[in-house]
Structure formats: structure tokens, C-alpha cells
């Protein structure tokens, strides 16, 4: 058995590639015709204007498309606005699967790793959690400061500061962008908190019997 770390990933990759090729061959042998990808026949269409996404009217910035036909802003204005918005709405990073499809990356970004490294080297002193109303008020103030919309619940929720754990003091939008899996873990905890309470009550009832 290979003992080199990472070797397993390489094998898994080539295995899935192998099965992909095998499936394709089996399909062809059984006479199933799958449409082959041809660029000229299927030009990539802009989701906004519905026209082929040609380079003279369409520009990309961090995976987001600017469409000159439908935008009232210039590309530069749009890009500046986009930068501002990236503090208000999460930016998801792609994780490429061996079969070529993309899923949101759940792991930590380099920025998140740096935060964890610094905290490990210099653990923060114990702090008390703020009251939910205070956290919310601070979030609304942050939205206004960032030029966001205080009536947009996504903007406001994104600016809520996490009160506990490895990323305490960071905003929820920061955690979504830099540690999506961890954000999922928190949401799961919150969603299932009542269930846990129920089980605890059931357990303590059992124990008292």
C-alpha cells in the first residue's frame, strides 16, 4: 500500500478519471449518442442580455460578468461598486472536482488560516458575548458605514459579528467567504439547537426515572 500522504488523492483522481472514460466508452459502445461540445454551435450566452458573450461588450471581474449592453455604469464604476459590495455579500470560491465540475469550496482560505495561526500563537483573552440586540445594532451601523442598504436583511445579517469560537469577532459574511464549511457548521448548530434541547430533556427525564 502506498504510504505517501497525498498519494491517495492522486489515485482517487485517476480512478474517477478512469471510470469517467470507461462510462463514456460503454455509452458509445451501447449506441447511446451524447451531444459533443462544439463552441461554434453553442456560443456562451450572456445571462443578462441574452446575446453571445462576446469580448467587446462583456468583461469579467473575479468570476462575475459585466455586460455593457444592459449596464448603465461603466466597467470601472461597476468594478468599484462590486468591490464595495464584496464586503457586504459573500464571495464563494470554486473547488474543482476531478470530473471537472465546480462546487463551492468549504475549506479555509489563506486569510482564514492566517487568523487561526495568529490566534494559536496569541490566544485572545476571554471575552463575554454581546447581547443579540447590541450585535444587531452594530451590524446596522457597519452596513451604513460600508455604503450598504440597512433595509437589506442579507447586508445586515452579513455584518453580525460572531461572538464565540475560532472566528469570534469576525463578521458572518467574512466567515462565509473565508470558511464556508465552518459557517455551515454554525448554521447547523443554530438550526438544530431545539432538537438538542429536546434530546437533553428526554435524557434527563430518563435519568431521573
Interaction of residue 88 with Zn ion, rule CB under 5 A: no
| 142 counts as binding Zn ion under rule CB under 5 A | no
Angle 180-191/193-208 helices, nearest 10 degrees?
A: 50
**Nearest distance, CB of residue 86 and Zn ion, angstroms:** 21
Q: What is the DSSP string of 58-126?
A: EEEETTEEEETTT-SS-HHHHHHHHHHHTTTS--PPEEE-TTS-EEE--SB-HHHHHHHHHHHHSPPPP
Work out whether 67 is an interface residue with Zn ion (CB under 5 A).
yes
156 binds Zn ion (CB under 5 A): no
CB of 49 to Zn ion, least distance (A): 3
| 49 near Zn ion (CB under 5 A) | yes
Told to check if 46 binds Zn ion by CB under 5 A, we report: yes
Decide if 33 contacts 24 (C-beta within 8 A): no
The least distance separating Zn ion from the CB of residue 99, rounded to whole angstroms, comes to: 29
CA atoms within a 13 Å half-sphere pointing along the CA-CB vector of 35: 5
Residue 171 Cβ vs Zn ion, minimum distance, rounded to whole Å: 32
Nearest to Zn ion of 70, 192 (CB atom): 70
78 is an interface residue for Zn ion by CB under 5 A: no
Q: Identify whether the C-beta of residue 84 lies closer than 8 Å to the C-beta of residue 146.
A: yes
- Pick between residue 68 and residue 105 the one whose CB is nearest to Zn ion: 68
CA–CA gap between residue 90 and residue 193 (Å, rounded): 25
Q: Which is nearer to Zn ion, 60 or 168 (CB)?
A: 60
Q: Is the CB of 46 or the CB of 179 nearer to Zn ion?
A: 46
Binding region for Zn ion (CB under 5 A) out of 1-9, 43-51, 96-104, 163-171: 43-51
| Whole-angstrom distance, CA of residue 176 vs CA of residue 184 | 8
Q: Which stretch binds Zn ion (CB under 5 A): 7-15, 67-75, 121-129, 186-194?
A: 67-75
| Dihedral of the alpha carbons of 50, 52, 55, 59, in degrees to the nearest 10 | 30
Question: Using CB under 5 A as the criterion, which residues of the chain lie in contact with Zn ion when the complex forms?
Answer: 46, 48-49, 67, 69
Amino acid at each position: 500500500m502506498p504510504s505517501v500522504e497525498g498519494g491517495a488523492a492522486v489515485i482517487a483522481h485517476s480512478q474517477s478519471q478512469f471510470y469517467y472514460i470507461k462510462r463514456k466508452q460503454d455509452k458509445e459502445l451501447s449506441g447511446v449518442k451524447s451531444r459533443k461540445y462544439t463552441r461554434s454551435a453553442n456560443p456562451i450566452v450572456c445571462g443578462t442580455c441574452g446575446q453571445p458573450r462576446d469580448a467587446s461588450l462583456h468583461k469579467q471581474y473575479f468570476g462575475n460578468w459585466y455586460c455593457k449592453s444592459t449596464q448603465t455604469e461603466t466597467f470601472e464604476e461597476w468594478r468599484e461598486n462590486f468591490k464595495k459590495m464584496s464586503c457586504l455579500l459573500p464571495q464563494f470560491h470554486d473547488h474543482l472536482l476531478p470530473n471537472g465540475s465546480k462546487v463551492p469550496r468549504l475549506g479555509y482560505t489563506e486569510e482564514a488560516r492566517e487568523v487561526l495561526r495568529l490566534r494559536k500563537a496569541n490566544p485572545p483573552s476571554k471575552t463575554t458575548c454581546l447581547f443579540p440586540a447590541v450585535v444587531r445594532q452594530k451590524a446596522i451601523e457597519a452596513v451604513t458605514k460600508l455604503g450598504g442598504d440597512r433595509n437589506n436583511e442579507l447586508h445586515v445579517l452579513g455584518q453580525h459579528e460572531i461572538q464565540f469560537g475560532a472566528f469570534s469577532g469576525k463578521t458572518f459574511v467574512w466567515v462565509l467567504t473565508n470558511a464556508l464549511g465552518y459557517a455551515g457548521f454554525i448554521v447547523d448548530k443554530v438550526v438544530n439547537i431545539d432538537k438538542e434541547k429536546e434530546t437533553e430533556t428526554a435524557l434527563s427525564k430518563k435519568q431521573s426515572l
